[in-house]
Structure 1
Amino acid sequence: MVADSFYGSTGAVKRANETYYAAGAASDELLTVTNGDVANQTRYEYDGLGRTTAEIFTIAGYEQWRNTTSYDGNMTHSDPPPGGVATTTVTDAEGKVKELWHYKGHTPVPTGPGSERTVTKYTHTAAGELATVTDSKGNTWRHDYDQRGRLVRKVDPDAGETILNYDESDRLTSTKDAQQRILSTEYDSLGRPKSTWEGAVSEGTKLTETRYDRSGSLGYSHASYRFLPNGEAYSTVVATFDTFYRPLTTNYTVPASEGKLAGTYPFTTAYNRDGTVASTGVPAAGGLPTESLKYTYDELQRPLTMASATSTYVTGTVWSNTSQLLQLSLSTGGPRTEKNFYYEKGTDRLTRATVKVGSTATVAKDQHYSYDQSGNVLSITDTAAPASSSTLDVQCFAYDGQARLVDAWTPAATATTAEGEGTIGGTADYAGKKPTACDAAPSTNPLGGPSPYWTSWSVDDIGNRTQEIRHDPSLNAAKNTTRTFTYQDGDQDGTPGETGDGGPHQVTKVAETTPTGDRQQTYQYDVSGNTLKRTIGGDTQSLDWDATGKLTKATEADGAETSFLYDAGGARIKRTTADATTLYLPGMELELKTGSTAVTATRHYSYAGQTIAIRTSDNKVSFLSSDHHGTGDLAVDAVSGAVTQRRTDPYGAARGKLSPETGTWPGEKGFVGGTIDASTGLVHIGAREYDPDLGKFISPDPIIDFTRPQQMNGYAYASNTPVTLSDPTGLYDCNNGVALNCDKKGNQQVNPCPSLVVPACNGGAVEKASNEVAAAEGQQARAQQRFKSAGKQLVKIVMDILGISAALDCFSSGDLAACGETMLTIAGSFAGGIAGKLLAKYGMPWNMHKGIQLAKQVTGLLKDLFGGLKAMSKASERLNKARANLAKAREKALFAVDTIKSAVGRGKPKCHSFLPDTEVLLADGKRKKIKDIRPGDKVTVTDPKTGHTVVREVSGTIVTEDDKHFVDLTINSKSLTATTTHPFWVVSENRWLQAGELTPGMTLRTASGTTATVEDVRYFGRRQRTHDLTITEIHTYYVLAGATPVLAHNCSTNLFSAEDQLNGFISKVEGADGYHDVWIHGSPDGVAPSFNAAEGGSTLMNHRVLAGLIKSDSNYTGGPIRLCSCQTGASRGTFAQDLANKLGVEVLAPNGYLYVRPNGRMSIGREGAALGRSHFGGEWVSFLPGGGR
C-alpha cells in the first residue's frame, strides 16, 4: 500500500495520491506511477502568498470537482462542489475567527443578491480563550476562565449554567449544573480518578469507583464499580492479564438484589502471537450455552472466518487490495447468506449492497446509492423486487442550501427509471447517475413502491424543525398531515431560565392538523435542558434524570414505570419495566420476565465492524443486514433461509409493516443500532434518548462543535441531515457514507463515529478491535487516564485554533464514556491537520518560534495520546455497542416506538362520537359546539372514580366523516345523539358503558355531581360526520342534553390508562359454558386497547394488563378464559399464549372473524348467521399454560 505527496518549488504540496495498491515486493528503487494508475488524487493550487486557492479532486487524472478558496482582506471565502455549504470566515487583527458565515445559496456572495446567510459570531478573552459564541438568532454560549486559563464557568442557552472547580494540579474536582447538583471526582496520589460522587467527596452519594495497581498489572486499572443506593454494586473486574497487560478474563458481576439475574459472568479473550485476537469467550446464561468464537486471518491480519465449536458463522471473507470489505459469506451449516459491497472508484463511496440467500443465490436486497459531489445521498433504490412501480423501492432526497434534508419521497418507477448509482456530475468514465424517477418534483408524479411516502420538512436558521408535512400517498393535499413546531425563545443572553420555560432549541408544542381533526403535543424541560414532561394524545409522560444527564425513570399517565441503570462508564446496564428486567452484558442481553424464574438470553455476533447475526433464547440464529447507517433492514433465518424485511424513513420511523407481515424481527435493535424502548416510546441511541416522532434527541448534546452552527443545536439529529449523516453515539455526527473516513492504513479515522457501514474502514486495527469485546472493556480503564491527561492539554490548543470546547465540557457531565469520545474527536482534529494550522497561524517571522514550540508540544502530546489511542478507540466502540442494548423483543416493539407514544402523528383512530352541533361544557361554564372546539380550549373534566373535577386543555380533535350507527338518548326530556360505541359513565353501574348498551332507567353523572336518568333509547342508522376530543391527562368531558351536562369518555389516540381499563371500559368478564367470556376488541396484530380501534390495526394491549383486569373483576372465579375478540390477532400471535401463562388457565381465542352484534350475539363474519355464545365450537383455538394446545 503506497501513498504519495509531491511538492512544488515553494515546498507546498502540489499533488497528493491517496493510498493505492502497488504490486510486487518493496525495493530500494523509487516507485513511479502515472496519474492514471491512481484512483484518488488531489491537486492543489496557490496564490502568490502561498495560500491555497483550489483543491481539485481527480480520478485517474481526470478532474471531477474542486473546492475553491478566495481571499479578501480579513475574509476567506470557501466555494465547495455542488451539495456543499459555502462559507466566509472573518478574522480579527490577531487572526482569530470573529465571524463565520454559512450561505443559504451554493456560492459565497458577501453582498447583494444571493448573500442570504447565517452568521455565527465569536469573541475571545485577552489571553485568546474563546469567550462567547452567538448564533444567528442571538443565542449566546459563554465561557469564563480563571487566571490559569482554566474554564470555570460556562453558560449554555439550553442547558443553563455549569460551574467547574479544580485542584492545585489543574484536575477537575467538581461541577455544579443549572439545577445546583454537584458531581465530584476523587483522585489517588498519582492523579488518577478514584471515585465519583453526587455531592462532595466522602459526604455525598458515592456513584462509582475505579481501582488500580493489582499485582501483575501495576499502573493499570483492573476494576470499576457502580454503586446502588443500598450499597451493593455492579462491577467489572479484569481477573487475569497476560504478560503484555492485555485482559484475558473479565468478570461482570451483578449484585444479589437482582435475584435470578445476579451472579458473575466471565468473558475471555485469547491472542495470537501477532497480537490478533485468537478467540473470544462468552458465558452460558439464559438458556444459551457458553461459546468460544475463534477467528482466522490472512497474511495482512484481516479476518477470514469466525466459528465456535458448535456452529460456524462467517465461512468466508473477501477483501480488496486496499482492504475494503467486498464480501461476507455467512452460514451455520444451512443455506448460505452472502453480503456483497461495491464502491465507487476514487471516492470509495458505497454504491451498492446486496444480500443473496440460498443455493440459488436469491437476491433479497439490492440497494443502490447515488450522491452529489459533496457526498449528500440523493437516492437509495432497492431493485431486488420485480421491476414494477408497485414493488421497486426508490427513495429520493432533496436538501436546502445548508445541506439539511427538506424532502424525502418514493416515486413510482420502472426498472429503467430506477437505475442509478454513484456520484453525479463527474467527468470521463467516472460520472455516476441519479435515478431519473427522482428528477421530477414529488408533487408532479405519483408515489409508488411497497411503502410509499412523501415527507417535507422546514428548518430555521438555528436548526429547529418548524414544519413537517406528511403528504397523502395519493397526493390529495386535503388529506395531508401538517405539523407546526413551536419553540420557546428562552433567555438569549445565556442566563438559564425557569423550569418549563424552554431554551431556544427546545420544542414546546407541536400543533397537528389532519383530515380527521386537530391535536397538539406539549413538552416541558428542566433548567439543564432535559425533557421533563411529554403530553401526547392527552397522556402526560414524566421523565426523571440523574446528575450525569442520564434518563433514570419514565412514568406513564397510568402510573406504569420504566427505570434505567448505568455502569461506571455511563453505558446502560439495566432496564426495568412492569413486564421484565433486562440486563445488558457485552454482546448479550438477559431478560427476566416479571413473576417468572426463567432467565432468557439474546446473543449478538459482531464481525468486521458489523453485527452479523443474532441468537435468541430458542437457540434460533438469524443473519442480519443493515443499511448504510447501521439500521437493520433484513433478517435471514439461518436454517430455513426465510427473509424478513423492514423499512424506515430518514428519521427512523417505521415505514409500513414487516414483509412478510407474518414475520418477526429478531431483537429490538432499531434506528442506527439503537434500542427500541417500547414502554417509553423512545429509542436509546448511544449516550442519549431519541424521539423518532419528533426526529430529535430529548436532552442536549454534551459535545458542541462551535465551528458547525447546525451541530450547535443540541437536540437536532445529525444536523437535520439524517440520510447523509448519522449519530449512532448520541454525541457527534458521522458521515459513514464516505469511505474517506478511513486513514491510509484502512483504519477508521480517530473520531467518535463507530464503523457501522463503511466496510473500507475495517482493514487495520479497528477491524481487529471489532472482535475484542472483553479486551476493549478492560483496556478502556487503563488507557483512559493517559489519554485524558494528554487530551486536556491538547484541547486548550484546539480551543485557541478552532473554538471547540467539547473536551473540557465533557468532564463536567460526569460521563466517562462521553469524555472518551471527546478525546477521540480532539485526536481526530489533529489527525486532520490542525497541527499544520498551528504553523500556519504562527508562521510569520515574529511568531515562528512560538509556532515551532507549540508544534513540538503537540507532537509530544500526540505521541502520548496515541499511546493509548488504539485501546481507547476499541473500548469506545464497544461502549457504543453496549449502549445499543440489543434486548430480545418481538417485531411489534418496532412499531410501538412510532405508534404507542406517537399515535397522534401516524395513527388513524377509529373514534366515533357526537354530531357536529352537540354542545360541550367549557371550563368557564359556557357552552361551545363540538365542531368549533380547538386544541388549547379548556373544558371541565371529572375523574369518575374519585369524583375530582378540574379544568383541562383539549389536546386534539377527531373527525369521522362517515359514521353509520347512532343512538338517540332522551335525558331530562332532551335529546342527545351519539354513536353506539361512545362510552358514558353510568353511575348506577359504576362503570363505563357504550351508548348502545344504555337502557332506560340507568343514571349518568352530571357536572354538578348529581345524576340524570336515561329516559328513552332509540337506535337509527345514517351516514353522518361526527366529532370527538382528546383531553389532557383525565380523559373525560361533558356533553349537553339540552341544559344537562353528562360525563362522556374522550377519544385518546394512545393506550387507555389503567384507570380507564379498571373502570370496566375494556374488559367484561361473564360466565358461560364453563368458560369466562372476556369481551375485548381485537386487531389483526393482537388485542387492541379499545372498542374504537377497529380495522386497520392499532396499538396493542399488554397481556399483563389484561390479566390484572380479569383478576380484579368480581365476576371472575379463576376458571378458563374465552377471549371474545373480534379479530384473529389474539390467536395468530403470542397474546393468548402469554395470557394463558400469566393466568395459569386455558385460554380460547377465535381463529375467524368474530362479529359482536348490538344484541350481544355473535356471528362468523359480518354477514354470518347470528350464533349464541355457546355455539362457536370449532372456531376456537385452545392455548394451555406452558405452551400446550
Structure 2
Amino acid sequence: MTFDAGGGLATQTDTLRINGRVFTSVFDRTQLKFTDTSPTGRTTTSFIDAQGRIVQQEIPNIFDTGFQYDARGRLTTVTQGTSPDDRQSTIAYNAAGFIGSITDPLGRAVQFEYDAVGRVTKQILPDLREINFTYDANGNVTSITPPGRPQHGFAYSAVNLETDYDPPNIGLPQHARQFAYNLDKQPTLITRPDGQTISFNYDAGGRLGSFVIPRGTISFGYDGVTGNLNTITAPGGEGLSFTYDGSLLLSTNWSGSISGFVSRAYDNNFRVTSRSVNGSHSISFAYDQDSLLTSAGSEMLTRDASNGLLTGTTLGNVTDSLSYNGFGEVSAYSVDANGTPAFSTDFTRDKLGRIIQKVETVQGVQHTYNYDYDPAGRLIEAKKDSVVTATYTYDSNSNRLNDGAVYDDQDRLVSTNTATYTYTDNGELLTKTEGGQTTTYNYDVLGNLISVQLPSGNLIEYVVDGRNRRIGKKVDRVLERAWLYKDSLNPIAELDGSGNVVSRFVYASRGNVPDYVIQGGVAYRIVSDHLGSPRLVIDTGTGAVVQTMDYDAWGNVLVDTNPGFQPFGFAGGLYDADTKLVRFGARDYDPQTGRWTSKDPIDFNGGDPNLFGYLQNDPINFVDPLGIFEFTEEELELLSLAAALPFIDGPLPIGDAGGLAIFGGVLAKKTIQEVSKVCLKQHGKKLIKGAYEFISQSGKRYTGSGKDVYRRLLEHLRSGKLKPKDIKSIKIHEVKGPKINRLKREQEIINKFGLKNLENKINAVRQK
C-alpha cells in the first residue's frame, strides 16, 4: 500500500502467486481505477465511481464498456463502443422498484409485470406475445402459459418439491409426470405419462446406488475410502470404471460390447497435459502462463498478446487466421493449405452481434449469404447471391409453419403436407410416415435413442454407456463403429466394428468439434464454420481435400463428398447419415423439421417456452452442444477454456450438476456458466464481487463473500479444504453497488444458502 500526504490510501496492490504465476490487482484511489494483470501481462482495467460502482471496463483491442446508474443506484444503461456503432442496452424500473423492461441495442424491449410481492406474472416479448406465470403461497411456479398455448401446471409437496408436471391435455389417458421423494428430499420415483418409471435407490451414505429403468438397471460403485465414483454398469453389461490420483481422474475404462480406455495426465496447475487412448495415441497439451492453450499435439495456437483471443493455428501445411471486431466477435476467418486459400468467411453483424451477411469462399468459389430475423429473433429469410432461397413463418409459440405444418397443444409436430408424425405419451418421436414409408424410433426413458427401424428394412441400433453417451452404432445388429469419449460430450476416438482405433480426435480451439483427426498416422485438419459444422477435411501433409460438406440454414446436409470419413456434422454434433438426425448431448435434432425429436429434459429451465424448439429458431448464430439450451460463439469459447480445468472433465454421477446427468450425461448450464466465470477471472478478464457457495462431493459446504470470489475459490483449493476433482458445485451471486448495500445483500444471500453441512459457520452467520 501507499498513502497520500494526509495518510489516506493512495494505492493498494494485491498479489496472488500460484506455482510461480503472478496475478496482481492494483487499486489507484486518485483515478478510482482497478488494474488486473495476468501472469503474461494481459490487463483488464475497471473504473468505479465514488460509491464503488463500476462505471467502465477496458480490455485491450476491445471496445470499452460503460455502466450508468439512476439516483437510487440501480443499473440503467450498459454501452459498448462509440456512436453510431455502439451497442446500448437499457433497464427501466417500475414504481415498486422492480425491473419493468429491458431494451436491447436494436430497441427491442422485453417487459415484465409483477404481483404484489414482486413475482413476475407476465413477460411481454418484443413482438407483444405474452408468457404468463402463477405461483403458490410459497412462491413455487404453479403454471406457465406459453404464447397461444394452454397452461403447463406444476404441483409441489409440503416441502416445496415438485410432485407433478401437468402439460396441456391432448386427450391422453394420463398426461402428468409425477415425482416421489424420500425423507432426505432425494427423488425415489419418476412416473411418466406413458406409465414407464424411473426408480432411484441410495446407499447408506445417501449416494445414488442405482436406478431402474424399463430396459434394465444402471448401478454405481464407490470407493470405500475416498468416496470416488469407481464404476457404472448400464443395461446390456456396458461398463465404466475410473481410476484416480486422489480426486484427480486418471483414466476412464469401457467394458462390454465396446472396450477401451482413455488416460490423462496433469501439471501442477491441474491442467490436462496429455490424453491417450488404449495406452497409445497420446496427444500432449501446453499452455501459456494464463492457462490459455498454446499447443495440442502438432497443432500450434497463437493468441493476441493483449487480450488472449485466438488469432490463428498451424498444423502441418494448413494454417488459419481469425480477425475480430471491436466487440470481440469474429469478423473474418481464413484457411490456407500449402499456401493456397482453401476456405474463408467474412461476417457483417447487426447491433446484437447476429450475422446478417456472410461472404464465403470455398476452394475458390464465392457466395454471399444474407439473413433476416423477425422482432422475436427468429430466422425469417435466407438469401444466396441476392436470391431468396427460403422464407419462414411461425405460430404464436414459435413453431415453424412451412410445408403446412400442424402442431398440437404440447407443440408436437403432427403433420406436414408430406408427412405425419406420432409420439409416445411422454413426447418422444415414435413414427414418421412419408410417401407411404414409415420410420419407427425407439427412445428409452432417459432420452437416449436406442434404435431406428428404417423403411428400407434396415435396423439401426445404438449402444449407450452409463453416462448416457452414444458409444456404438449397429446396422442390422452388427457393430459398425464405436466411440470413446474425453468428457461428457466429445468423442476422442472412433473404433471400427472389431474394436480397433481408426480415428483419434484432437480438440484445441473449439469446445464442440475437434480441430483435427488422425487416421493411419496422417493428420487431417477439420475446417469448420462459425457453428462448428465441418466444411473441409484437409490432409495437412499434402493439402489435399478429402471431404467437403455443406448445409442449408437449418443443418440439412447438401453436400458430403466422403460420407463417414469423420462422424461430425451440423454444429459439431454426431451426424448419422442413415437417420439424418444429429445427436447433441441429451437430444436428437432433426434438420428437416428444424426441431428436436423430444421435449427439453429440463423443461422450461432451458429458457424456451416451446419444449421442442431449436435455438428459438435462430440456427445461424447459436448452437446447443448439450441439447438443452443455446450457446453463443463466445460461450463456446469459454467452454473450450473450461475444459482445461479437471473438475468438468471427470465423471459426473447421476444427481450431480443439478441432476442433469440423468439426461445425456451433461453438465448443467449454471455449472458451466460459473466455471466460465472462474476461467474469465483466471485469464484476467473480470473481477467478481459477491457471495459464494462451494460444495464438495462429500457434501461439505463453504459460504462467504468478497471482492474477488475467484480468489476465495483458489484459497480454498490451496488450503486443501477443496480439491479440484472434489468440487460438486460452484454458486456465485455477483453483487454490485455501494459497499454498505453490497455487504447487506451479500449477507442476505449467504443466509439463504442455509447452515446444513456448513464448514465455516462462524463466518457465514456473522452479522456484517
TM-score range with shorter-chain normalisation? 0.7 to 0.9
Structure 2 counterpart of 1:381: 359
Equivalent-residue separation in structure 2 for 1:144 and 1:826 (angstroms): 29
SS of match in other structure, 2:359: strand
**What do the CA deviations read for 1:441-460 (whole angstroms, capped 9, x no partner)?**
x5xxxx3xxxxx61110012
Q: Specify whether residues 633 and 862 from structure 1 end up closer, same or farther in structure 2 by C-alpha distance, changes over 3 A only.
A: farther
Query: Counterparts of 2:499 and 2:454 in 1: how far apart (Å)?
Result: 27
Match of 2:242 among 227, 238, 244: 238
CA offset at residue 863 of structure 1? 11
Whether the 8 Å contact between 1:83 and 1:376 is mirrored in structure 2 is: no
For 1:849 and 1:81, locate their aligned partners in 2 and report how far apart those are by CA, in whole Å: 30
CA distance in 2, matches of 1:697, 1:138: 19
Cα shift readout 1:896-935 (whole Å, capped 9, x = no counterpart) = xxxxxxxxxxxxxxxxxxxxxxxxxxxxxxxxxxxxxxxx
For residue 297 of structure 1, the aligned residue among 269, 273, 287 is 287
CA distance in structure 2 between the aligned counterparts of 1:178 and 1:97, rounded to whole angstroms: 29
Unaligned segments of structure 2, at least 5 residues: 1-36, 38-42, 486-491, 679-687, 692-731, 760-768
User: Residue 352 of structure 1 corresponds to which residue in structure 2?
Assistant: 332
Q: How does 1:442-481 map to 2 (within 5 A)?
A: 442=386, 447=387, 454-467=389-402
Q: 1:830 offset after TM fit, Å?
A: 9.8
Aligned residue pair count = 653
Question: In the alignment, what sits opposite 1:815?
Answer: 663
The equivalent residue for 2:86 is: 64
Supply the distance in 2 between the matched residues of 1:101 and 1:371 (Cα, whole angstroms): 26
Matched ranges for 1:288-437 at <5 A: 290-307=280-297, 313-315=298-300, 317-331=302-316, 336-345=317-326, 347-358=327-338, 361-383=339-361, 391-411=365-385
Tell me which residue corresponds to 2:599. Answer: 700
1:263-278 mapped onto 2 (5 Å cutoff): 264-278=259-273
The CA deviation string for residues 579-599 of structure 1, in whole angstroms up to 9 with x for no partner, is 64322212112222xxxx695
Which has the larger share of helix? Answer: 1
Alignment-mate amino acid for residue 223 of structure 1: T
CA-CA distance at 1:63 after TM superposition? 7.5
Residue 118 of structure 1: CA displacement? 0.5
Is residue 54–residue 68 contact of structure 1 (8 Å, CA) maintained in 2? yes
| 2:231 pairs with one of 223, 227, 244 | 223
Partner of 1:510: 416
Contact 1:78 1:86 in 2 (8 A): yes
Q: Is the 8 A contact 1:577 1:679 kept in 2?
A: no
> Is 1:212–2:222 an aligned residue pair?
yes
Distance in 1 (alpha carbons) for counterparts of 2:542 and 2:177: 56
TM alignment of 1:897-908, pairs within 5 A: none
2:189 aligned residue (155, 174, 192): 174
What is the distance in 2 between the residues matched to 1:561 and 1:664? 19
Equivalent position amino acid for 2:518 in 1: R
Amino acid at match of 1:524: T
**One-letter code aligned to 2:496:** E
The one-letter code of the counterpart of 1:351 is: S
Alignment partners' CA distance in 1, 2:207 and 2:353: 42
How many Å separate the matches in 1 of 2:758 and 2:88? 34
Residues 811-840 of structure 1, C-alpha deviations (whole Å, 9 max, x = no match): 8xx43624x325526858999999798989
Tell me, yes or no, if the aligned pair for 1:635 and 1:666 is still in contact at 8 Å. Answer: no
SS at match of 1:139: coil
- Structure 1 residue 214 displacement after superposition: 4.8
Q: Partner of 2:671 in structure 1?
A: 824
Instruction: Indicate the residue corresponding to 1:591 in structure 2.
Output: 496
Distance 1:130 1:49, change over 3 A: same
Query: 2-side partners of 1:158 and 1:145: how far apart?
Result: 19
State the Cα deviation string for residues 637-667 of structure 1 (Å, max 9, x = none).
1232112432211111123x35xx6x67721
User: d(CA) in 2 for partners of 1:583 and 1:151?
Assistant: 38
Amino acid at match of 1:560: N
CA change 1:833–1:127 in 2 (3 A) is farther
Query: Shift of residue 466 of structure 1?
Result: 0.9
- Provide the residue aligned with 1:780 in structure 2: 651
In the alignment, residue 39 of structure 1 is paired with which amino acid? I
- What CA distance in whole angstroms lies between the structure 1 residues aligned with 2:539 and 2:677? 45
The CA deviation string for residues 671-699 of structure 1, in whole angstroms up to 9 with x for no partner, is 11122222223222221112111111111
1:8 aligns to what? 49
Contact 1:672 1:685 in 2 (8 A): no
In the alignment, which residue of structure 2 is the partner of 1:530? 428
Q: Distance in 2 between matches of 1:638 and 1:507?
A: 44
- AA matched with 2:286: T
Instruction: Report the secondary structure of 2:398's partner residue.
Output: coil
Q: Is it true that 1:652 corresponds to 2:558 in the alignment?
A: no
In the TM superposition, residue 541 of structure 1 has moved relative to its aligned partner by 1.0
Aligned with residue 644 of structure 2, among 756, 761, 768? 768
Distance in 1 between residues matched to 2:157 and 2:315, nearest whole Å? 58
Q: Structure 2 vs 1, CA of residues 830 and 73 (structure 1 numbering), >3 Å: closer, same or farther?
A: farther
TM-aligned CA distance change 1:250 to 1:39, over 3 Å: closer
User: In the alignment, what sits opposite 1:567?
Assistant: 465
Secondary structure of 1:465's aligned partner: coil
- The one-letter code matched in structure 2 to 1:339 is D
Partner SS, residue 852 of structure 1:
helix
Cα distance in 2 for residues equivalent to 1:306 and 1:850: 44
The alignment partner of 1:719 has SS state of helix
Matched residue, 2:747: 852
Match of 2:518 in 1: 615
Matches of 2:126 and 2:434 in 1, distance apart? 37
Match runs of 1:1101-1180 below 5 Å: none
As a proportion of its length, which structure holds more strand? 2
Q: Conserved in 2, the CA contact under 8 Å of 1:83 and 1:375?
A: no
Pairs within 5 Å for 1:863-942: none
Residue 403 of structure 1 deviates from its aligned partner by: 0.7
Write the distance in 2 (CA, Å) between the matches of 1:862 and 1:402.
Answer: 45
CA contact (8 A) 2:526 2:536 kept: yes
Q: Which residue of 2 aligns with 1:1094?
A: none
Query: For 1:630, which of 517, 532, 547 is the aligned residue?
Result: 532
Where 2:651 maps in the other structure, the secondary structure is helix
Give 1:353 deviation, angstroms: 0.9
Determine whether 1:603 maps to 2:504: yes
Hey, what does 1:486 align to over in structure 2?
406
Percent of paired sites with the same residue: 20
Read off the aligned partner of 1:735 and give its amino acid letter: T
Aligned amino acid, residue 245 of structure 1: S
Query: Partner letter of residue 69 of structure 1?
Result: I
Paired residue secondary structure (2:571): helix
1:666 and 1:206, CA in 2 relative to 1: closer, same or farther beyond 3 A?
A: closer
CA distance 1:839–1:157, shift in 2 (3 Å): farther
Instruction: Indicate how the Cα distance of structure 1 residues 401 and 158 shifts in structure 2: closer, same or farther if over 3 A, else same.
Output: farther
Which of the pair has more CA radius of gyration? 1
Distance in 1, Cα, partners of 2:669 & 2:509: 24
* Amino acid across the alignment from 2:231: A
Residues 1082-1101 of structure 1 aligned to structure 2 (within 5 Å) = none
Partner of residue 796, structure 1: none
d(CA) in 2 for partners of 1:198, 1:580: 24
2:191 is aligned with what amino acid? Answer: K
> What is the CA–CA distance in structure 1 between the aligned matches of 2:262 and 2:196, rounded to whole Å?
36
Alignment deviations for residues 366-410 of structure 1 (CA, whole Å, 9 cap, x no partner): 211121111221111124665xxxx32111100001110000111
Q: 2:570 — aligned with what?
A: 671
**1:600/1:56 CA distance change after superposition, 3 Å:** closer
1:597-626 Cα shifts (integer Å, max 9, x gaps): 69562221222335111233x554321111
CA distance in 2, matches of 1:543, 1:588: 27
Cα drift, residue 86 of structure 1: 1.5
What is the SS of the residue equivalent to 2:748? helix
CA RMSD of aligned residues (A): 3.5
Amino acid at match of 2:195: Q
**For the Cα contact (< 8 Å) 1:158–1:529, is it kept in 2?**
no
The question of whether the paired residues in 2 share the 8 Å contact of 1:327 and 1:340 is answered with yes
